[in-house]
Chains A and B, each alone.
Chain A
Amino acid sequence: MKRVSLGSVFVGILALLYFVVPLIATAQFSFQVGSGQPFWAAYASILRSAQFWQSLRLSLGMALAAVAIGLIVVVPAAYWAYLRAPRLKPWIEFVSILPFVVPPIVLVLGLVRLYATGFGPLSSRVTLLMGAYGVVSLPYMFRSVDTGLRSMNVKGLTEAALGLGASWVRVMFRIVLPNIRQSLLGGAFLTFALIMGEYAISSMLGFNTFGVYMLLTGQTEAQGAAALSIIAFILVWIFVAIMQWVSRDALTTVGGSR
């Protein structure tokens, strides 16, 4: 077999330093609490704070809403394109990846300009936040639905089910969704990782999401900021690990909540 090359080892060590040292530094900083307190004091005070749980719940709830929007919006269109209108598939793909060209800060500016001054239910901040998150996660939801549909026999299964007298609703819930469940879960957890720490959109709309909570806490408590950073890293790790475990697809996000 090939021997390990010196150049690669050098690159590997540099990468290890660059990626691991900040984590160590952050963890070390989060433990530097005043004397007389246990080293985990910063974590304890965060985990005890009601705001932490409220903001996390809000962010994850909104991520769930974004996933739901993605399902309602992408699954029917992509399914029908696979079944009857393959010509339209590039168009659906085009619309689904279009959010990439509209940075979050531009998206929220556009939404606020157009709807904030009154468009009935559309002017509600929650609707705007959910809509914006739906847009931001649309490319990833599309990709996971597309992967799922590609790996199943859409035409054959649908025609067999319809031929046996199943209704369209039944086809959707008993055939299509269960078949693409795995890739959908992958897309869902990627969306969770993406939305969890989102800041630009939610701060502009005046929500106390996890990202906003992190910034506000970090401005006043240095150790708390470091501890939150570690907690966020662990959460992202959990979501990405589940995502890679269920979908075996090295999906990644571009743009989004950076």
Chain B
Amino acid sequence: MTEVSVSRAPLLAAGRRQQMWGALWFLPLMIFSLIFLFLPSIGLFAGSVAGRHGPTLTYYADLFQAQYLDAYKVSIELSAATAVIGALAGLLLAWAVVGGGLPRVLRPLTLTFSGVASNFAGIPLAFAFTSTLGPVGLVTLFLKSLHLNLYAAGFSLFGFWGLVVTYLYFQIPLMVLLIVPALDHLHTWREAAMNLGATPLQFWRYVALPILRLPMLGALMLLFGNSFGAYATAYALTSGMINLVPILIGQELSGNVVFSPNLADAMAVGMVLIMVAIFVVYIVANRRSVRWQA
């Protein structure tokens, strides 16, 4: 008995000391995220509700003025359009490559290229599309020689659909990278279904779509967020002339004061809230789909 109690006391003390030491290992992450992520976010929130005489919601009410509401609307429409088109096109491309419809050698090539293209964004991407679909871009001129005048027909690279076409250059590859793991999985399901006598239509209706629903939802959310926070591509293409939330925040920051700082804070908080909503859906979809695959 005595032996046990004697040996236990130092052990417990060691355990407690170890817990204290253990906290130290987390300290860098805690301090860093506090200083560079949490405090600035809290600061923005504080700024967004700081009135002259105590807390106020005026700035959030101001967000409902036509110009700012429109910025949110355009931002959300742009993100939704690029997310939906990007997800569908990415799914088709991924299935063409991993589903067996195209030669196998294309698979690693497509994945590497997707890794590159999904990271090829911002200023250089805007330049590339200006050379392609700008007023004197190669494709614009080529189509003009076929008597198809894009710009006379109302298209502009520097407007909404121009941005959509450009964003898809990183959205589609991102979708390919996100969905290929789920499709790899689908491949074995298809063989099982076909062996049991299912038609391709039955396979898609009863097997593939139910399996893909959640991964697709999660990927859609990531694509939406990917485009919602984008600044550089839109700024370079439109010279800051498009009414998007990030562009408005950028105007405030770079000193073209068109509205009050507190209003910019409120806009930023509004962006974060939308991103949080997107992210929550993503996490739920992701967790459920992982469970389903396991």
Residues of A within 8 A of B (CB): 2, 4-5, 7-9, 11-12, 15, 18-19, 21-26, 28-30, 69, 72-74, 76-77, 79-80, 84-85, 88, 92, 95-96, 98-115, 122, 131-132, 134-135, 138, 190, 193-194, 197-200, 203-204, 211, 214-215, 218, 225-226, 228-229, 232-233, 236-237, 239-241, 243-244, 250-258
Contacts and interface: CB of A to CB of B under 8 A. Distances in A.
Contacts of B29: 73-74, 76-77, 92, 95-96
B22 A85 contact: yes
A242 B174 CA distance: 18
25 contacts: A19-B117, A22-B129, A25-B138, A74-B29, A76-B29, A92-B26, A92-B29, A99-B37, A101-B278, A102-B275, A103-B231, A103-B275, A104-B229, A106-B271, A109-B249, A110-B268, A193-B119, A197-B124, A215-B236, A226-B131, A229-B131, A240-B116, A244-B111, A252-B177, A255-B230
B57 interface: no
Contact of B128 (A26, A79, A102, A239): A26
B112 to A, nearest CB: 6
Contacts of A254: 174, 222, 225-226
Interface of B: 18, 22, 25-26, 28-29, 32-33, 35-37, 39-41, 43-44, 47, 89, 92-93, 95-97, 99-103, 106, 111-125, 127-132, 137-139, 168-170, 172-174, 177-178, 180-181, 222, 225-233, 235-236, 246, 249-250, 252-254, 261, 264-265, 268, 271-272, 275-276, 278-279
Contact of A110 (B43, B180, B228): B43
B275 A100 contact: yes
A258 B272 contact: no
A163 B135 CA distance: 70
B36 A106 contact: no
Contacts of A236: 116, 119-120
Contact of B178 (A96, A252, A255): A252
A100 B44 contact: no
Nearest to A199: B232
A91 to B, nearest CB: 9
